[in-house]
Amino acid sequence: MSPARAKPAKGQKKEATATPVEELTEVAAKAELKSLAAEIAHHDKLYHGDDNPEISDADYDVLRTRNKAIEARFPKLVRADSPSKRVGAAPSTGFAKVRHPHPMLSLDNAFSEQDVRDFFQSVRNFFRAPQDVARVEEATIEVMAEPKIDGLSCSIRYEKGMLALAATRGDGVTGEDVTANVRTIADVPKALKGKNWPDVIEVRGEIYMDRKGFLALNAEREKEGEPVFANPRNAAAGSLRQLDSSITATRPLHFFAYAWGEQSAPFAKSHDEAIKRFAAWGFTVNPLSKLCHGVDELLAFHRSVGEKRAGLPYDIDGVVYKVNDLDLEERLGFVSRAPRWALAHKFPAQQAQTILKKITIQVGRRGTLTPVAELEPITVGGVVVSRATLHNEDEINRKDIREGDTVVIQRAGDVIPQVVSVVEALRPKHSKPFVFPHVCPECQSKAVREEGEAAWRCTGGLICPAQAVERLKHFVSRLAFDIEGMGEKHIVDFWTDGLIHAPADIFRLTGEKIIGREGWGELSARKLIDAIDARRTISLDRFINALGIPQVGEATAKLLARHYGSLARWRKAMTEAADPESEAWRELNDVNGIGEDMATDIVGFFAEKHNRTVLDELAKEVTVEDYVAPAVATDSPIAGKTIVFTGSLAEMSRNEAKARAEALGAHVGGSVSSKTDFLVVGADAGSKAKKAAELGVKVLTEDDWMKIARGA
């Protein structure tokens, strides 16, 4: 559901709604999922990769919520590049990389009380045994509730009670080593107090800046003529990421502990007990956190915290709910980018009115024309905002947004808001509806809008400066080649002056070509060349992501790298897959998470001669490492194997079975093929069992599966 909205003011039109999900046809749903995947990926890059968000948290959440709702109704249409499979951002440059022993994942969001009830109903549906279902009934389930601090996630590792390492979340798998900076935070103990802590324990929580410290810091920066921070969260992130820890030490940072990662030995049976342990070890824990019994008590807690929100000394944007029992939590496990046992219940966004001065058009790296509202600057929730995305032509027409309009905007944590609606009573006389351009503002090429899609796209391809430059920006971005010092301005300058036209040209830059240009001396040029040379070896998944193939983002790149193993094998298979009757085409479609639409775009990329040339030229400059599967700490017979489930299981739900198989190191497939190692057959198995017999795939009964699942 969308976030709650304020009642329209007098004379203000109520916002029209998009086509209800339950009324979408499969064709329309497929097109919208494709559009949403591209749009959300665009905003992920701006927020996580560029630290330059274009929309508010609330606007972003609306996009993700609609994507999730469509996927729930059309599960067969879930894309390999679905936003539901992504989390976080790659670690920034300037810090050593730290790989988290256990991923630091984000949470799914709820915006209404019904969303919360639906979530806990899904928890109940996950289990099948009567004794388990009884433990998760909505009226009695134990849940830890805690305010959702608007800060920066951090994991702090202790060895034999001493602080050994601290890291940011990064992309959830790899973060930044910020140990020296975290040591300066008074709330973080350098040595654990008390006793009974594991020899190794990662304590996780949120680094934040309270409002008093934020205002004092900004006042000091303004006095010194330095730019002020937009909000406490940005101030906390900027302070923690100082390369000079002495600067961090001067900043008013705090830390709330609320979770953990690696542990050498269990130390609690519930979240409630774990929080009490943290406090005993010397950590600050949020005093408002509460153990609730039943969903009604949770919702009452959410309302209570919402009423106290304005008076709290720090910013919060919701309440986090966690199933208290750690045994149930372990069995629930994770789904893609988020745990099944936790949920973030967001607060409604803050709103204000301002003037929309002009609508401009931006062109993305895939040619998407995105309308942007240029606003009369206004303060919303203490933050000055001046721009907002308008998404697409349909969004403008749906809300009848015009230049010169007074508009209602809202934000929920970011600088850039969303346009909620228009105040028609204040519309200037003689205003005219906005006419969306049908030519690209960058290269004047024709713009087209394919049937079923919401976006207009430039047909200029590589001749379009915006697309060429945006593709190069993506190539060097954090989730791709991650070349330090190769910023957007440098990409634009080098492209404009003809130094680079294609990705391989980046690796052919020399100091002689750069030195003497405006802003470039011998030292800065040398640093850039060294940074480029440091990226001449790259992992297969990052390389695939860097290519900018339509629909292929970070998550899909990892799927492809994991399945094909090497660049040579992947490229050969994609060439062979051009024949829709080939085994290579069937194999690509059978990769769990990649459907026909996705496969078509991937194969289409290799069908273009200029794309093959890009690969050939890059092969002369870089080394692409073969995929190395992460070590699986298990001796399970299904570790590293592909397993498929069919029919209904009596002892556990299908979701729990899949989660358990993945925890044991298996790849879970959606259909039976020659690549399948095991087929687990439940009641009413259907055609998969027959196909497995034809292909010689080993069939496991439910009893066989339960022995493996239990480690017997």
How many whole angstroms separate alpha carbon 381 and alpha carbon 411?
A: 8
How many whole angstroms separate alpha carbon 711 and alpha carbon 709?
A: 6
CA dihedral angle for residue 279, residue 282, residue 288, residue 293, rounded to 10 degrees: -20
Known catalytic residue at 148 = yes
How many whole angstroms separate alpha carbon 448 and alpha carbon 440?
A: 10
- Contact yes or no for 358/403 (Cβ under 8 A): yes
Q: Which residue has the higher pLDDT, 234 or 475?
A: 475
Extended strands (E) in 302-397:
316-323, 334-335, 338-339, 342-346, 350-363, 368-380, 383-389
Q: What is the predicted pLDDT for the residue at 235?
A: 87
Q: Which residue has the higher pLDDT, 151 or 635?
A: 151
Q: State whether residue 335 is helix, strand or coil.
A: strand
65-78: per-residue pLDDT in tens? Answer: 888 889 888 888 88
Domain with CATH 3.30.470.30 in the chain: 97-346
- Contact yes or no for 270/323 (Cβ under 8 A): no
48 DSSP assignment: I
Q: Which of 130-134, 496-500, 646-650 tops mean pLDDT?
A: 496-500
Q: What is the predicted pLDDT for the residue at 229?
A: 79
60, pLDDT greater than 90? no
Q: Which residue has the higher pLDDT, 711 or 79?
A: 79
How confident is residue 53, by pLDDT bands cut at 50, 70 and 90?
low
- CATH class for domain 642-709? alpha beta
- Contact yes or no for 150/233 (Cβ under 8 A): yes
461, pLDDT greater than 70? no
How many whole angstroms separate alpha carbon 241 and alpha carbon 151?
A: 13
Q: What is the predicted pLDDT for the residue at 337?
A: 67
How many whole angstroms separate alpha carbon 17 and alpha carbon 70?
A: 15
Pick one of 3.40.50.970, 1.10.150.20, 3.90.1150.220, 3.40.640.10 as the CATH number of 539-625.
Answer: 1.10.150.20
- Chain mean pLDDT for the chain: 85
Tokens of 456: 């207009």
- Contact yes or no for 421/427 (Cβ under 8 A): no
593-614: per-residue pLDDT in tens? Answer: 787 888 888 888 888 787 888 8
Please state, in angstroms and as integers, the Cα–Cα distance from residue 536 to each residue in 315, 505, 620, following that order. Answer: 42, 13, 10
138-174: per-residue pLDDT in tens? Answer: 899 999 999 999 889 999 999 999 999 999 988 788 8
701, pLDDT greater than 60? yes
- Total Cβ atoms within 10 A of residue 352: 15
Please tell me the least confidently modeled range out of 199-208, 404-413, 423-432, 482-491. Answer: 404-413
Q: Which residue has the higher pLDDT, 440 or 255?
A: 255
Q: What is the predicted pLDDT for the residue at 282?
A: 96
How many whole angstroms separate alpha carbon 149 and alpha carbon 316?
A: 5
97-346: which CATH architecture?
2-Layer Sandwich (3.30)
How many whole angstroms separate alpha carbon 673 and alpha carbon 696?
A: 10
Domain with CATH 3.40.50.10190 in the chain: 642-709
How confident is residue 358, by pLDDT bands cut at 50, 70 and 90?
very high
Q: Are strands 338-339 and 334-335 parallel, antiparallel or unpaired?
A: antiparallel
pTM of the predicted structure, to 2 decimals: 0.53
Q: What is the predicted pLDDT for the residue at 343?
A: 95
The H or E element containing residue 212 is helix 211-223
Please tell me the least confidently modeled range out of 352-361, 406-415, 678-687. Answer: 406-415
Extended strands (E) in 79-235:
97-99, 109-110, 142-149, 152-159, 162-168, 174-176, 200-209
311-334: per-residue pLDDT in tens? Answer: 888 988 899 999 999 999 989 887
94 DSSP assignment: T
Q: Which entry of 30, 45, 85, 148 is annotated as an active-site residue?
A: 148
Category of 372 on φ-ψ map: left (φ > 0), alpha (ψ -120 to 50) or beta: beta
Provide the β-strand partners of residue 257. 205
- Contact yes or no for 3/61 (Cβ under 8 A): yes
How confident is residue 712, by pLDDT bands cut at 50, 70 and 90?
low
Domain with CATH 1.10.150.20 in the chain: 539-625
50, pLDDT greater than 70? no
- What distance, in Å, lies between the first and last C-alpha atoms of the chain? 43
How confident is residue 9, by pLDDT bands cut at 50, 70 and 90?
very low
Among 646, 634, 626, smallest CA distance to 567 is for 626
Q: What is the predicted pLDDT for the residue at 1?
A: 31
Please tell me the least confidently modeled range out of 3-7, 186-190, 267-271, 467-471. Answer: 3-7
Q: What is the predicted pLDDT for the residue at 463?
A: 61
313: Cβ contacts below 8 Å, ≥ 6 apart:
210, 211, 212
Q: What is the predicted pLDDT for the residue at 453?
A: 77
413, pLDDT greater than 60? no
Q: What is the predicted pLDDT for the residue at 341?
A: 94
Tell the burial category of 362 from Cβ atoms under 10 Å away from its Cβ (0-12, 13-18, 19+). Answer: middle
571, pLDDT greater than 60? yes
642-695: per-residue pLDDT in tens? Answer: 898 888 888 887 778 887 887 787 878 777 888 889 999 888 777 888 888 888
Q: What is the predicted pLDDT for the residue at 618?
A: 94
381, pLDDT greater than 90? no
Please tell me the least confidently modeled range out of 82-96, 281-295, 481-495, 600-614. Answer: 82-96
Among 466, 427, 471, 490, smallest CA distance to 610 is for 471
Tokens of 378: 């206004």
Please state, in angstroms and as integers, the Cα–Cα distance from residue 413 to each residue in 88, 314, 350, 502, following that order. Answer: 16, 13, 9, 37
521-562: per-residue pLDDT in tens? Answer: 899 999 999 999 999 999 999 999 999 887 888 878 988 998
- State what percent of residues in the chain have pLDDT above 70: 90
Tokens of 441: 């503002």
